[in-house]
Structures are given as C-alpha cells and as structure tokens.
Amino acid sequence: MASVDGEEPHHVINIWEVNKDRLNTMHQKISAPPRLLSLAAGKSTCCIFRVPRSLVDINGRSYQPHIVSIGPYHHGEPQLKMIEEHKWRFLGSILDRIKVKGLTLEDLLKAVESREKEARECYSENLDMGTDEFVEMLVLDGCFIIELFRKVANLVPSDPDDPIFSMAWILPFFYRDFLRIENQIPYFVLEVLFDLSKMPGDESGRTLSQLVLEFFNNCIFRPDEDIPKFSQLRGRHLLDLVRTSFIPSETEKPRKIQTPTYVIHCISKLRRAGIKLNPVKAASFLEVKFQHGVIEMPTIAVDDFMTSFLLNCVAYEQCHKSSSKHFTDYATLLDYLVNTYKDVEYLSERNIIENFYGTEGEVARFINNMGKDTAFDIDQCYLSKLFSDVHHYYRSNWHVQWAGFKYTYFHTPWSFMSAFAALIILVLSFLQTIYTILSK
C-alpha cells in the first residue's frame, strides 16, 4: 500500500474476521424461521390472534379468558384449571353416546389430526406444541363446547347437580370467554367433531351454527324465529360466526368521499344543528341510517357481555386482513357521537342505548376507549354515505341558525317563558315609546 504524506502504511483490521462467531450468529438468525410471529400471520387463513399491546393497555383483560381456556394461547394457565376436569367429563359423555356408532376416541383424534396443518395456520404465532398435544387440546376443547351447546339446548340430558348449570355465575362467563379473540379454535374443527358426534335419528334438525346462536341468544335476545335463517352461516371461529350474524346482508357499498373523518360531531352539537337521533327496529344494531335530518339507530343493550363482544370484534377486525370492518366503523361512529356522559344520557332517553353497564360516565368511557388506537378508513366504511350526508346537512347555514335559535329559546319550558317574557317587555317598551311620541 502506498504511503500518504510520507507516512508508513498501517494494517487495516477487518473486525468481522475477528468476530466470526458473531457473523455466524447473524447468518443463523437470517435463515432461521420466526419463532413467535408465524409466517402465516399475514395470510387470510390466519384468523386467531394475540391482541396488540396498545389495545390491551386501553381495555385490560377484555381479550383474555377469565374461567375457561379454549385453544393454545392460554392453555394450561393455573387460573383456568377449574374447568379442565369438566372438559374430560363432557368428552366422556360424547364417547359413551358415539360408541353405538362404533366410534371411539381414536376416531375423533384421527379426524382432527388430518386437519392439523390447516388448524395451525389459523394461529398468528408458531405454537410450541407437538402434534399429540395440539390435537388432544383441539378434541378436548371442541367436544366440551359442542356438548355444552347440546346440553343448554336440551338435546342431551344434563345432571341437575352439575355445577356448570347449578351455579348461576358460571354460564355468563362462558358466554364471554367463548367470544374472546385469544380464546378460539378453528370453526372447521368444531364442524368435524359435531358431525362425528351427531347421533342417528337426531330429530332436532339443527345445524351447528343454529346451536351456536341459540346458545349466545341467552345474552343477545334475538327473536327465536330469526335464528333458523342463519342455519347455513359459517365463520372462521365462534367469535367470527356470531360477529357475521350481525352484519346486514344488504350493506351499501362504501363510496369514496372527500369528507375528513372528524366531521361527525358529538350529539350535543348535532342537536343544536337540528339533527335528531331516533330509535328504530332492525335486525342488527349496525343498521344505522340518516335521512331528512334524522339519524336512525337501532337499540343496543350495553352490558358486560355486549361490551366484551364489541371489543373483541373490533380487535379481530383490526388484526384480520380479509375481514370487513363493520364493528370498527360502528365503534368509530359511537366514538364521534359521544363526548361526555350527557351524550350517553340522551341516547338512553331516546332508547337507543339500554344501559345495564354502569353510570353514563362509565358507558361514555367505554365507548371512547373502544375507538382508541384503531385503524379507520372512511373510504372503505359501510357508513361512509351517512358520514357524508350528516356533514353536508350540518354545514347547511339555515339549518344550523334556525335549529340553534329553537334550541336556545324553545329547548325547555323555562327558556320559552324567558323568551316570551322578553318579547312582551320589548313590545310594551315599543308601545310606550309610540304613546309618548303621540302624546306630545
């Protein structure tokens, strides 16, 4: 090497030749498959997720099971072991029945094992479970769910002393835990086990989806005659099935609009602009419409079950690439409408919200938290037309001025009386002035 300015050349040390172990370690990490986040996590087949930390920080344990573990994410956690022994008991009940068909536990395991690869791809994480443990868990959890549905529907007998049914607090936790995003198994696994465990001469004629929705109807309270229309409905798991049953079949396609997403004002401002909110009867609370200055909203019961269900539906839509975003859009609309407890108070007075959750302030906090840290695309929103129409109605000057005048002076009897008294004083003053002028 030639010298510079007469200096002797010096040897340049390549640190990566010295640190060959570090270099090899880096190459191993490059070629190694991901250990936690599965490569299938970005595919449409992946449908069971860990909830993002940002949502957990806002809504706490709303996404995690409280008494029963379903699936691998919370499998074996100590606080959920109470129900494990009952799972084995329910599995035994199924095996006692299907033995007349010549079926055994081995047949259930083989049927599920044939779908193992497909089932693993439903989870967003690489599962640290061997084939035997994974398949055993799916069979045990799936048979427990199916047998519970049958017992609640009185399709198979249940022991009146069974603590699952005799202790009033347990079933309400099942309703919530079965619909938590981190507590799911693939729906096709349930279908396999349901078909294998179906007995000859079963006269009920119910499909699995009907049993599912009948079970959760103990919390949702749909008219019983509405359930059969979902007989062929399928989902990716229980949460997705129940969620899909609420999505209107005739949803207007989103249209691209130039309205910013913040244009839906809170209820108090909308009312000052003459926009009313009225309750309407509909098959789903998602069927919100706006026409002739009135936002029509179906009644929704806000309680422990519904708040948990809404949060998990929103989280699922945020994680799943191919899912529609109906619940996220609805949550965003509520978040815009509700600023304070007074807005919730008005919705309750209008019978749009039936509050079984807590104070109006607690409901307002829940609604505002439900819309936090969620990705919302107004161009893909099923309520995009409503957002646009409300925005343009609100900006109409004569609507706002006339509505503001009525709201200020005729909103209550007292404001009307004050305005009327002021008008009388003004008229009397005018007449007195005229009388004074004429008397001169």
- In terms of domains, do 206 and 274 share one? no
Please report whether residue 27 resides in a domain: no
Same domain membership, residue 276 and residue 156: no
State both tokens at 68: 């029963």
Q: Are 353 and 347 in contact (CB under 8 A)?
A: yes
Same domain for 183 and 233, yes or no, is yes
Does the residue 84 lie in any domain? yes
CB 313 within 8 A of CB 239: yes
Is 12 inside any structural domain?
A: no
Q: Is there a single domain that holds both residue 62 and residue 154?
A: yes
The pTM of this model reads: 0.84
Q: What is the pLDDT along the chain (440 residues), one digit of tens a residue?
A: 555 555 555 566 666 666 777 777 777 777 665 666 655 666 788 999 999 999 999 999 999 999 999 999 999 999 999 999 999 999 999 999 999 999 999 999 999 999 999 999 999 999 999 999 999 999 999 999 999 999 999 999 999 899 999 999 999 999 999 999 999 999 999 999 999 999 887 757 889 999 999 999 999 989 989 999 999 999 999 999 999 999 998 766 665 555 555 568 999 999 988 899 999 999 999 999 999 899 999 999 999 999 999 999 999 999 998 899 999 999 999 999 999 999 999 999 999 999 999 999 999 999 999 989 999 988 889 999 999 899 888 877 455 555 455 555 555 565 556 665 666 777 667 677 776 777 66
One domain for residues 125 and 74: yes
Domain contains 259: no
Q: 323 and 348: one domain?
A: yes
Examine the domain organization and report whether 142 and 226 are in the same domain.
yes
Residue 269 lies in a domain: yes
Query: What pLDDT does 172 receive?
Result: 96
| Secondary structure (3-state) at 43 | coil
Mark whether 74 and 208 lie in a shared domain.
yes
Q: Which of 246, 274, 302 is the last residue of a domain?
A: 246
Which of 391, 406, 428 finishes a domain?
A: 391
Domain count, the chain: 3
Cα 246 → chain centroid: 11
Provide the pLDDT for residue 260: 55
Q: What is the dihedral of CA 251, 252, 255, 260, to 10 degrees?
A: -70
Same domain, 228 and 276: no
Confirm whether 376 is domain-assigned: yes
Q: What angle do CA 315, 356, 223 make, to 5 degrees?
A: 80
Q: Residue 314's pLDDT is what?
A: 97
Which among 378, 297, 301 has a CA at the least distance from the CA of 332?
A: 378
Residue 133, domain extent: 53-246
The predicted pLDDT at position 259 comes to: 52
172 and 296 part of one domain? no
Which long-range contacts (C-beta less than 8 Å, at least 24 apart) are formed by 169-172? 170/67, 171/218, 172/219, 172/304, 172/305
26 in a domain, yes or no? no
Q: Is residue 14 part of a domain?
A: no
Do 57 and 203 lie in one domain? The reply is: yes
Last residue of a domain, one of 354, 370, 391: 391
One-letter identity of residue 373: D
Beta carbons of 149 and 238 less than 8 angstroms apart: no
Query: Do 172 and 277 fall within a single domain?
Result: no
Is there a contact between 367 and 334 (Cβ–Cβ < 8 Å)? yes
